[in-house]
Amino acid sequence: MATNIILAGVGGQGILSIAYVIDHAALDAGFHFKQAEVHGMAQRGGAVQSHLRYSDTEIHSDLIPTGKTNLVLSVEPLEVLRYWHTLSPEGWVVTSVTPYVNIPDYPEMDDLLGNLAEFGNIVMVDTGQIAKAAGNLRAQNMAVIGAAAPLLDFEDDQLLRPVERLFSGKGASVVEVNTRAFHFGRAAGLFFRGLVDGGMGGLAAIKVCQKLAPETIDPAHATTWAEALGRDEAKLGALLSIEGSLSCESLPVFA
């Protein structure tokens, strides 16, 4: 078993914290791991990336060969495009859809997300919405880890123990916020995939997820939502026009 991950985002989004959690989960699980230097940290808002590798056998290099990346994990959607070419044929992308607009010609979000949604092996979550519901916008990085958790080789508690160690010095309330962000991100990622696997397009699926209150999302309801909305643009438009957030447990009735 060997897993190669590229962590991506921009300066200030907590890429080092993501690396800490996964590295320590790997260490606690008895895996070998190597992590390349995190590049880009000198410029807040500039592109940041790091290579992270863990395996049950010895690892000889901290750099991932092109075409061998199993997972691109990004806290910023546009940054995914920098590393798409590094993925293996079976590789996955887990990304936030919350933009960090740090360039004047940042693309229109529907165009960007539509482009990302064309990639079959993708999980998209609105980390800004999730972190706000968890209690702190700075917890977006933990929401991304939660969304990626089903694709990693660890049980949830193996990832949450490093989260607790990382934030324990800041008090129990900070640990609780980041733990909630992890759980909300995990549920949102699984719900998104449930919609897509149920036949809904990726762009429609993320818009549905954004309409739901993160604390209510239950992946077990994804099939029901996918069957109710399908590819019906009229129903999707009616859903998105409803004021406020919806509960995942209360699917609107469409005429």
- Beta strands (DSSP E) in 46-113 are 47-55, 69-74, 87-96
Instruction: Tell whether 40 is covered by a domain.
Output: yes
Confidence check: pLDDT of 95 > 50: yes
CATH number at residue 83: 3.40.920.10
C-alpha separations of 199 from 142, 170, 184, 219 in Å: 28, 43, 23, 15
Give 45's pLDDT tier (boundaries 50, 70, 90): low
User: Which residue in 117, 115, 81, 108 sits closest to 202, CA to CA?
Assistant: 117
**pLDDT over 70 (residue 43):** no
CA distance 106 to 126: 18
Decide if 226 is inside a domain: no
164 lies in some domain: yes
Alpha helix stretches (DSSP H) within the chain: 15-28, 80-83, 109-117, 127-134, 140-148, 156-167, 172-197, 202-211, 222-229, 233-241
Owner of token pair 């800004």: 128
Structural contact between residues 214 and 188, judged by C-beta atoms closer than 8 angstroms: yes
Q: Which residue has the higher pLDDT, 42 or 153?
A: 153
Task: Identify the band that residue 11 occupies on the pLDDT scale cut at 50, 70 and 90.
Answer: confident
Instruction: Supply 64's token pair.
Output: 């991932």
Average pLDDT, the chain: 92
Percent of the chain with pLDDT over 90: 78
Q: Is residue 6 part of a domain?
A: yes
Distances from the Cα of 209 to the Cαs of 10, 189, 234, in angstroms?
24, 9, 17
Tell me if 248 is assigned to some domain.
no
**pLDDT tens for each residue of 193-230:** 999 999 999 999 999 999 999 999 999 999 999 999 97
Look at the chain and report how many structural domains it folds into. Answer: 1
* Residue found by looking up tokens 């706000």 in the block: 132
The stretch 21-48 carries a mean pLDDT of: 80
Residue at 238 is within a domain: no
What is the C-alpha to C-alpha distance for residues 66 and 64, in angstroms, rounded to an integer?
6
Residue 55 to residue 109: CA distance in whole angstroms: 36
CA distance 188 to 125: 6
Q: Within a domain: residue 55? A: yes
Q: Would residue 215 count as lying in a domain? A: no
Whole domain around residue 45: which residue ranges?
2-198
> Which is it for the CA torsion 94, 15, 4, 57, positive or negative?
negative
